[in-house]
Amino acid sequence: MSLNWTKSALLSALLALGGCATNPEKMLPHGDATMLDVWNQQTDGGSSTRRLLDARQTLRRPLQPPVPIVDQTGYTRTAQSEIYRQFQRLPNPDLVMYVFPHLVGSESVPVPGYSTVFPLYQRVRYALPGERIKDY
What are the tens digits of pLDDT across the range 6-29?
A: 888 888 877 777 767 677 777 777
Phi, then psi, of 79 in degrees rounded to 5 = -65, -40
Q: Per-residue pLDDT averaged across 38-50, rounded? A: 71
Distance CA 46, CA 44 (A): 6
Whether 90 contacts 126, CB under 8 Å:
yes
Residue at 127 is within a domain: no
What mean pLDDT is reported for the chain? 78
Residues 46, 14 within the same domain: yes
Residue at 72 is within a domain: no
Domain, as residue range, for 23: 2-59
How many domains does the chain fold into? 2
Residues 6, 52 within the same domain: yes
What are the tens digits of pLDDT across the range 63-115?
A: 777 777 777 776 677 777 766 666 777 888 889 999 999 999 999 999 999 99
pLDDT at res. 135: 61
Residue at 14 is within a domain: yes
Residue at 39 is within a domain: yes
